[in-house]
Structure 1
Amino acid sequence: MITYTDDLTGVLPEHLTGSFFEGWPNSPSPETHLRILGGSSHVVLAVAPGGQVVGFINAISDGVLCAFVPLLEVLPSYRQQGIATELVRRLLRKLDDLYSIDLVCEAEVQPFYESCGMKVLDCGMGVRNYSAQSGRDEIEQELNGS
């Protein structure tokens, strides 16, 4: 049975292994993944028996007006079970007192987010630095030969 939590206590890099970041050419390591979650304003985890994280969503917020949702990931073998929907539902409930909750996604997943109560907006801009996709510290380690 999958449980949901917003508490990172006891979560270790080995709980974050698997095919998260599917299709990313430079995916973050489990250690960097844990740092991403720890640096987030809000996080919701889907956890399988034994402690393996099988899905997560995070948000970065000013705590006053706005939040941005950068990542929603569910391991491939756990998809189509309602986990992503539940992660979004729980995060939106945590953020329901904010004016703006935004995310950037591919067009093919917009219907999913619409089914969760989000609206397609007619504007948005972004920059992608794919060479930094695995995380800042991992790039610095590569440059320093560590």
Structure 2
Amino acid sequence: MIYKNTLDGISSDMLKGFFVDWPKPPNPQTHLLLLKKSSKVIIAIDDQTNQVVGFITAISDGVLSAYIPFLEVLPEYKNKGIGKELVDRMLKELDGIYMIDLCCDDDLIPYYDKFGMTQTNGMVFRNYKMQSGSLKI
């Protein structure tokens, strides 16, 4: 497995199969754009197939706060330590930041507990008609 914190050499063709179970998933071109517009990104590439098999992103002001909106690993690559490695690497990238936040479903709380994260309350707004993304921004 190769881990990179750059998108050099990454094309939308390498981003297939993500956003499983989303009713309106972003297409690979929109996925690539969201990676490019993130403050930080780390990707996992299968060195045998040259396909991206996992990614994590962060949005940050670079001073005090960061938010991790996405951690995804393709279903066939889950439970191999790829997600853990992506989170560990992102937390190192954000080491100088005061607060690192993320939202997750209840069943994922034990997973993030292992990284020293603390459960808290949060509020979200979801505009589901825009779930597949927009290339206009």
Secondary structure class of the residue paired with 1:69: strand
TM-score by length of 2: 0.95
Deviates more, 1:112-121 or 1:81-90: 112-121
Alignment length, in residue pairs? 135
Are 2:108 and 1:109 aligned?
yes
Deviation at 1:34, TM superposition (A): 0.2
Deviation at 1:51, TM superposition (A): 2.0
Equivalent residues in 2 for 1:29-108, closer than 5 Å: 29-49=27-47, 50-108=49-107
RMSD: 1.0
Q: Report the AA paired with residue 134 of structure 2.
A: R
Deviation at 1:3, TM superposition (A): 1.0
Query: Which protein is richer in helix relative to its size?
Result: 1
Secondary structure class of the residue paired with 2:89: helix
Deviation at 1:118, TM superposition (A): 1.2
Mark the structure with the bigger radius of gyration.
1
TM-score by length of 1: 0.90
Identity of aligned residues (%): 49
Are 2:23 and 1:25 aligned?
yes
Deviant stretches of 4+, over 4 Å: none
Which blocks of at least 5 consecutive residues in structure 1 are unaligned?
141-146
Deviation at 1:96, TM superposition (A): 1.2
Deviation at 1:44, TM superposition (A): 0.5
Aligned counterparts of 1:81 and 1:91: Cα–Cα separation in 2 = 18
Choose which of 120, 124, 127 in structure 2 pairs with 1:126. 124
Aligned counterparts of 2:50 and 2:81: Cα–Cα separation in 1 = 19
Choose which of 128, 132, 135 in structure 1 pairs with 2:133. 135
Aligned counterparts of 1:30 and 1:78: Cα–Cα separation in 2 = 19
Aligned counterparts of 1:56 and 1:134: Cα–Cα separation in 2 = 18
Deviation at 1:9, TM superposition (A): 0.6
Aligned counterparts of 1:44 and 1:32: Cα–Cα separation in 2 = 17
2:4 paired residue number:
5
